[in-house]
Chains A and B, each alone.
Chain A
Amino acid sequence: MTATTTPPDTSSPYAELKAPTTARRLLTAPTTGPLVALLLACAFFSLSTDQFLTGGNFSLIVQQVMVVGTLAIGQTLIILTAGIDLSCGAVMAFGSIMIAKMAAEGSLPPLAAIALGLVVCGGFGLLNGLLVQKIPLPPFIVTLGMLNVAFALTHIYSEEQTVTNLPGPLTALGQTFPLGGTDITYGSLVTIALFLLFAYALSSTGWGRHVYALGNSPEAARLNGIRTSRLTIGVYTVAGVLYGIAALLLISRTGVGDPQAGQTDNLDSITAVVLGGTSLFGGRGSVLGTFIGVLIVGVFRNGLQLMGVASIYQTLITGVLVILAVTVDQLSRKKAR
């Protein structure tokens, strides 16, 4: 239970800056509620339908949430700095149409097209970060503008056409391999690996603690010697690259480059972050929580569908869950003060 490294800001009056260890966060922190919700939902759907509790179905759920999940990692990083990113879905759509078109119709080899897509998405993130940090503008406004920019560029660049006949490497992550009688997609593994990587980075590296510190109080973080400007721009850029990876996962999953993609994914990623117990006011939360949040949405959608409940109920329930999650966050903050 003792912290192995001391955060650089223990002397500050902001108690929450103290970074808990991974174990402690898992046991007590905001992840507990979402985890219980996920388990309850799973138990409920297992009892209600015969098809829910199978390996194949769980593999399917992870596969279905991998795109929003990867976006939500980037969203979590940004929300932890007390920002928000409304452009993530649109940036991903642009990345996906770019990768698909460059490889299928352009002259680029598939791997170069993928690399280009990651760089371009990272570029969008960098631009978001610069505008938020250097001018500075509110993240909500910057990313709202960028949402429209990326959306329009997607439609201009694609000429409203879906790109088909993708070369093999672009859809490789959508392929499956058998594991214990069920089929797992490679993309699911990529998503899970990314979640683990960022969970580690946030809980056990100096960078991670700085992100939390920045979200709690940029001024205190700056006074404690954190280079907040560089950190903020870096977080937005890393998020952009993650959207590029999500773009690749998206085309591998659907097998096409779709200019209409991602239109509600920005809100879906925020939903996942909030359900996972990360505070929209920054500084509190974790990517593991977000993973659970993503799974909650996926499990509800899949389970209700298996039960034969119309999709509008999924929307209803997701809405109620989000309001409850934010309410709980607000109430617990009030008590903490």
Chain B
Amino acid sequence: MSRTTRLSSSLLRTAAVAGVAALTLTACGSGSGSGSASAGSDSGEVKVGLITKTDTNPFFVKMKEGAEKAAKSEGVELMTAAGKFDGDNAGQVTAIENMVAAGVKGILITPSDSKAIVPAIEKAKAKGVLVIALDTPTEPESAVDALFATDNLKAGELIGEYAKAAMKGKTAKIAALDLAPGVSVGVQRHNGFLKGFGATDDDVVCAQDTGGDQAKGQTAMENCLQKEPDINVVYTINEPAALGAYTALKAKGREKDVLIVSVDGGCTGTEAVKDGTIAATSQQYPLKMASEGVKAVVTYAKDGKKASGYTDTGVTLITDKAQDGVTSKDTAYGLENCWG
């Protein structure tokens, strides 16, 4: 009795597995069908790898879109991969190895952990693969061949200068909704803001990490208001954190008299600038980072010329309440160029 059930259960398993194999075939078929090249055909086509921090963050979705467009127009094959969560170094290492095994000419990577990814990048480079960091630099920066990124210090400076002008000489009580400890992007934006504002960390009455998350941004702001009810300037690492801060301020009836500034320039964030929720944001261009990256790999494949050094992919201050002496563009421009 137990013998036969064992056997039939293993038959059942086999059947189930066959079903999954069929499903896989379909999924793969549709996946490669939408790509630029037919899977597995080794026609000597140039392959470019793109590894982002996650699959789901709109910033990386836009980055992927930029890479896909560039790959199509350059006639190369794009392979993509991502970590399972922001900070998933092991997942990115695996992706690098698999892409090198697949024979990519170059890898574009947004490192989840600037330091931890370095040994894997060095292994790939040793096999002749061009490695370009997008958006986030590695530590040391020289671990990659080139870096295509926003100047995050400048992005912070722009909103700092803007906030200074908008305050019109009023005494500022600043809250800083930061990213996470030790992450260079967050540190640079934070420092840039203070530099642009002409303030120091002593002027920040409340600093909290949000991970760039809206819900955590809201909690952070609630706690900051509990601590210092008369905060009047809020620096935020990105627009989700800014929107969270807005929700917290609104609950206290403070949304009109507190200035919120941010960085990123996502479409939701730019809309929030348009309706006045956020006063100003520094817009960055992930699509450009990726498309420039793909082009650099194509150049390398064609004539062996490696991209090097840092390429600033630009940042623009977006606001509808322009301040004298601070260069900015309006939200119409922002919405045309936003991502997400």
Contact = CB atoms under 8 A, between A and B. Distances in A.
Given A51-B102, A311-B81, A40 B93 contact: no
Given A64-B97, A335-B8, A328 B16 contact: yes
Interface residues of A, number: 64
B231 to A, nearest CB: 26
Interface in A6-43: 15-16, 28-30, 32-34, 36-37, 40-41
A293 to B, nearest CB: 12
Contacts of A205: none
Interface string B109-131: 00011011011100000000000
A310 to B, nearest CB: 5
A307 B24 CA distance: 12
B116 to A, nearest CB: 4
Contact of A162 (B37, B39, B103, B113): B113
A91 to B, nearest CB: 16
A36 to B, nearest CB: 5
Most buried by B among A44, A305, A311: A311
A33 B88 contact: no
Given A41-B21, A57-B101, A308-B37, A277 B13 contact: yes
Interface stretch (B28-36, B145-153, B304-312, B329-337): B28-36
A310 B67 CA distance: 13
A327 interface: yes
B20 A324 contact: yes
Given A312-B55, A332-B5, A51 B103 contact: yes
B12 A332 contact: yes
B39 A48 contact: yes
B302 interface: no
The 7 closest A-B pairs by CB, nearest first: A33-B13, A332-B9, A255-B119, A260-B87, A37-B17, A305-B98, A162-B115
27 contacts: A16-B2, A28-B10, A32-B14, A33-B9, A33-B17, A36-B14, A41-B21, A64-B94, A160-B181, A162-B115, A256-B118, A258-B90, A260-B87, A260-B89, A263-B85, A300-B24, A301-B98, A308-B37, A308-B79, A309-B27, A313-B31, A315-B55, A317-B23, A325-B16, A327-B16, A332-B6, A335-B5
Interface of A: 15-16, 28-30, 32-34, 36-37, 40-41, 44, 48-51, 56-57, 60, 63-64, 67, 160-162, 164, 250, 253-256, 258, 260-261, 263-264, 277, 300-302, 304-313, 315-317, 320-321, 324-325, 327-328, 331-332, 335-336
